[in-house]
Chains A and B, each alone.
Chain A
Amino acid sequence: MSGAKLRVEHLTAYYGDHPGVKDISLEFPDRMVTAIIGPSGCGKSTFIRCLNRMHETAPRTRVEGKVLLDGEDIYQEDPVRIRRRIGMVFQKPNPFVTMSIYNNVSVALRFNGHHPRDYVDAAVLRSLQQAALWEEVKDRIDSPATSLSGGQQQRLCIARALAASPEVLLMDEPCSALDPIATAKIEDLVGHLKDDYTVVIVTHNLQQAARVADYTAFFYLGGLVEYGPTEDLFERPKEHLTESYITGRFG
């Protein structure tokens, strides 16, 4: 393990009075892909939304515990700055419908401080290439984002997150709204992204976790059941619960 990029200590997240996740402690190694798996309602989405302080944007929510990015607690920092360092991709593609492809990708740079035009252009090109979308959109960079297919929109959202130059990329079931071909493209992409980014991906698809992740965490009923290298977790689960889940006996 090449050192932890992100370390979670005793994290508990509430919706109203109800804890969505309870007392989670976990480390995400640098430039690795970590998958979070578990049945619906196990708190995996809630958990990942705590990692860039998106959880608190919903009404009547709060978070206890620490999330350390390079040793600094993100809950002691300005959430806006934290979200620039920890990007996020959501379940459903959510491009800005009123903006062009170019404007979608460049939005973080354009809205966060002043950058020279050629710097922004270069960042857009780099991000679209990293998101494996460039070849498909290079001739219509100024057409509306809504003209893209669902899978393309999701890769656009990935490019949009990458353009802000984050260190960590959170992906909350990024393929749940996509067809198998688009899903394969995103999975392939995730494999490349770990060269530059620490990736955390939530998925309810076990095969997907097995295919893309170096490490896997299994959540159940808001708690962390087991965490380890993906191979170990799938082939030699330590917990009975994990074994039942990956062998398909529930969920």
Chain B
Amino acid sequence: MMRFDHHARRKLLSHGVAVLTGLCVVAVLYPLVSIVYTAVVRGGTVLFQTGFLTSVPPNACSQVSCNTVGIGPNIQGTVILVGIAALISIPVGVLAAVFASEYRTRGVGRAISFTADVLSGVPSIIMGAFIFGYFILVYPSLTYSAITGGLALSAIMIPIVTRTTEEALRTVPNSTREAALALGISKWKTTLRIVVISALPGIATGVLLAVMRAAGEAAPLIFTAFGSNLYYRGLDQPIAALPLLIYDFALSPASNQQDVAWGATLFLLIAILITNVVARYMIHRLGRQMVGGA
């Protein structure tokens, strides 16, 4: 009887833990549901208004009949800023990863991967502050511009691209490098045209995640890209960005601006969801290819 009770208590405890941890998951996932629900309810009709994706943002307006207008310049600005950042960070990140993984350089390669690792944990606002601190001193006229915004985002992307590329390069089996070298293919061609190409799905996944992270960043852009309600006017001019618009209009008392912010939020969430699905599909395919190649 004693034994039985003891056993029953153990079983009960085990079931209790299952329920408890299940509740944790519910609590953890509730915000995701709530965010998506709120964005759909408040931003759904806004997002699908004609011209929302191409018109300029509205001024604050307290009348009920105010038009909610669009987020055209902000989409364009975010694309340009992320484009600049990608142009800088992809070559830099990939080449740095090549150095860290493809060359025997004793501690230096390890130091670089460790630094990239630590840099990826530096707050994004610090990346913006350091770009701001440099330009305000050296090129004050460029402080609020597409250039500084792009640089700040590239500072965020470089460590991510470096780390993920390095991991992808390490999954390329050494026999692939040997096969190429034994054919008399030079080291740089072996590296760029065979090893990097073999690792491309992994690298692309990393780049995609870095791009998405940069596209959602507002903090470092406040005092670099600055924001604007106009379409692109030049690399040396302040530029609009989607996350900045959400920040500005979320805190606005005008309901039409808040509506636009919800539309922008829903747009960004959808973009992130699509990118994530694509990235996951790529990881999945990469895994299959490695199995098939073994």
Task: List the interface of chain A (C-beta within 8 A of B).
Answer: 52, 54, 57, 59, 80-85, 87-88, 90, 92, 94-98, 107-108, 111-112, 146, 157, 160-161, 164
* Residues 178 to 213 of chain B near chain A (Cβ within 8 Å): 178-187, 189, 193-194, 197-198, 200
CB distance from B286 to the nearest CB of A (A): 11
B179 neighbours in A (Cβ, 8 Å): 90, 94-96, 157, 160
A95 neighbours in B (Cβ, 8 Å): 179
Say yes or no for B234: interface residue by CB 8 A criterion: no
Say yes or no for B176: interface residue by CB 8 A criterion: yes
A96 neighbours in B (Cβ, 8 Å): 176, 179-180, 194, 198
| 23 chain-A/chain-B pairs, Cβ below 8 angstroms | A54-B182, A59-B104, A80-B186, A80-B187, A83-B181, A83-B183, A84-B183, A87-B182, A90-B175, A90-B178, A90-B182, A92-B175, A98-B200, A98-B289, A107-B185, A107-B194, A108-B183, A108-B184, A111-B185, A146-B293, A160-B183, A161-B183, A164-B184
Say yes or no for B292: interface residue by CB 8 A criterion: yes
Contact of B182 among A92, A98, A161 (CB under 8 A): A161
In the bound assembly, the distance between CA atoms of A182 and B180 in angstroms comes to 24
Is there contact, CB below 8 Å, between B183 and A94? Answer: no
* Residues 82 to 121 of chain B near chain A (Cβ within 8 Å): 104
Majority DSSP secondary structure for residues of B touching A: helix
Is there contact, CB below 8 Å, between B184 and A57? Answer: no
Contact of A52 among B176, B177, B182 (CB under 8 A): B182
In the bound assembly, the distance between CA atoms of A182 and B274 in angstroms comes to 46
Contact of A83 among B173, B175, B184, B293 (CB under 8 A): B184
CB distance from B127 to the nearest CB of A (A): 35
Is there contact, CB below 8 Å, between B178 and A164? Answer: no
Our count of residue pairs bridging A and B at CB distance below 8 angstroms stands at 73
CB distance from A105 to the nearest CB of B (A): 11
B186 neighbours in A (Cβ, 8 Å): 80
Contact of A112 among B176, B184, B197 (CB under 8 A): B184
Is there contact, CB below 8 Å, between B183 and A98? Answer: no
For the complex with contacts A90-B179, A107-B194, 7 further pairs of A-B residues with Cβ separation under 8 Å are: A54-B181, A57-B178, A82-B184, A83-B181, A83-B184, A97-B292, A107-B185
Number of interface residues of B (CB under 8 A): 25
CB distance from B110 to the nearest CB of A (A): 13
Is there contact, CB below 8 Å, between B198 and A97? Answer: yes
One digit per residue, 1 when the CB lies within 8 angstroms of any chain A CB and 0 when it does not, for chain B 136-163 equals: 0000000000000000000000000000
CB distance from B289 to the nearest CB of A (A): 7
One digit per residue, 1 when the CB lies within 8 angstroms of any chain A CB and 0 when it does not, for chain B 206-231 equals: 00000000000000000000000000
6 smallest beta-carbon distances between A and B, as pairs: A84-B184, A97-B293, A83-B184, A94-B175, A88-B182, A108-B183
B178 neighbours in A (Cβ, 8 Å): 54, 57, 90, 94
CB distance from A121 to the nearest CB of B (A): 18
In the bound assembly, the distance between CA atoms of A250 and B178 in angstroms comes to 32
In the bound assembly, the distance between CA atoms of A161 and B178 in angstroms comes to 12
B290 neighbours in A (Cβ, 8 Å): 97
One digit per residue, 1 when the CB lies within 8 angstroms of any chain A CB and 0 when it does not, for chain B 253-294 equals: 000000000000000000000000000000000000110110
Contact of A108 among B173, B177, B185, B289 (CB under 8 A): B185
